[in-house]
Amino acid sequence: MKLFGLAFWEELRQGFIRQTRQYPVAVLCGLICAVSFSLAIDDSLRYNSIWRVRWIRLGITGGFGISLFILAELLVGRLKAKLSWAFVPVNVLGLLCLIGLYLWIPFYNGAELLNTFLIRLLMLAVLVHLAIAVIPAFIQEEPDVALWEYNKTIFTRFLLSGFFSAVFFGGVVLALISIDKMFGLDLDEENIGRIWFFCAFVLNTFLFLGAFPDMEERMNLQLDYPKWIHFFSKFILLPLVVIYFAILFVYSLKILFSWSCPNRWVGLPVFVLSAVGGLTGLLIWPLAKVEPLTPWAKTFWRFFFPLLIPLSVLLLLALQRRISDYGFTEIRYLGVILAFWILGICIYYTVRPGASFKAIPWSLICIAIVFSINPLSPASVARKSQWKRLSNILATENLLKDGILVSNPH
């Protein structure tokens, strides 16, 4: 194929048509997101905060809609065999969810309100992405190998599309800076932000969906374990797991012999260890369960989860100490939820070492659903906890009587 010849542009056109036909709403959401954020950073809106917030709300909604409507298309494909009419209700439901999200986004930038919204949005985003990961196993059970290969394909596409978009962004920005310096055109710096939004939400979406397997391919994926995942897991992630384990176990011995409470800072390395170790376990799952000549992978799956149990308990003790002093905040509450989840997963895979890896995403989906709804949501629990602390302080100072604030106790 001649570079930039007719065949090149024809292939580009066919790819554009294929993606807009298969994922029309997801592509449209990417365009809406990029355009909205580009308008939000326009200098003309510097003194018009109302319109700026409106564009930001629309941009957040569009960005969330990319993943939501990828999930909707996958769900329609999964239901098509039994419910041929599923396309319309699934997409209408997705559209209603986006409208609800737009109306739910806070209009003003209050720190507490914004923090609460971002945490709930993060939980919803995690829920949608996990649903994309397990959708092939929805309604009809799929072999673990096929589901792992499907997620490997998504993971690889995500990394490659992000890398290609970053390279394109860096190249275009460098070209603009060169033009600015050499020709003295004094280009607007806002254009760099607009280019980033285009690369992040339009180009990246097209690149990600470009090689996304269709439904027939997803149902018949065969295991193809790439060497780069083997290298990355064995020589990058595994040493990190060993380093964190060594640090935390030495620290555990220190507090055990000194009979002291764990430092509140211990939570971060335990969470990092759990995340890195969990990612390592998922990446090497075929080596541990399918391939016969990888004893190191089998050893990892056998010992990682039992060894993490005492560290999970250590994490809960550190969180309990912090909460007993200052009560629940949204972040601490999420930390407690994740700590109990880590402990539960560790016990599960210790008791059932040969269990499917599906327990990890499915359990996280259940947690995201249950704890994103009042009265168990982080915002609700944190608000009650902090109000109780404040009430106790005011009552101690005789500033609160029968739930009413007293201005002059004397």
Tens-place pLDDT, residues 334-392: 999 999 999 999 999 999 988 888 899 999 999 999 888 888 888 889 989 988 888 88
Task: Summarize pLDDT for 146-185 with one digit per residue, the tens.
Answer: 888 888 888 988 999 999 999 999 999 999 989 888 887 7
130 or 113: which carries more pLDDT confidence?
130
- β pairing state of 400-401 and 404-405: antiparallel
And the tokens for 90? 């699934």
Give 298-341 pLDDT, tens digit per residue: 889 889 999 999 999 999 988 988 898 888 989 999 999 999 99
Cα distances (angstroms) measured from residue 93 to each of 61, 85, 192, 266: 15, 14, 35, 43
Cis omega before residue 306 (within 30°)?
no
Crossing angle of helices 330-351 and 111-134, in 10° steps, is 20
The predicted pLDDT at position 1 comes to 46
For residue 345, count other CB atoms closer than 10 A to its CB. 19
The model's pTM: 0.87
Q: Where are the alpha helices (DSSP H) in 80-106?
A: 87-104
The upper half-sphere exposure of residue 147, i.e. CA atoms within 13 Å in the direction of its Cβ, equals 23
5-14, 62-71, 90-99, 367-376, range with the lowest pLDDT: 5-14
pLDDT, mean of residues 272-300: 85
Q: Cα(188)–Cα(183) distance, rounded to whole angstroms? A: 14
Residue 48, judged by CB atoms within 10 A of its CB (0-12, 13-18, 19+), counts as: exposed
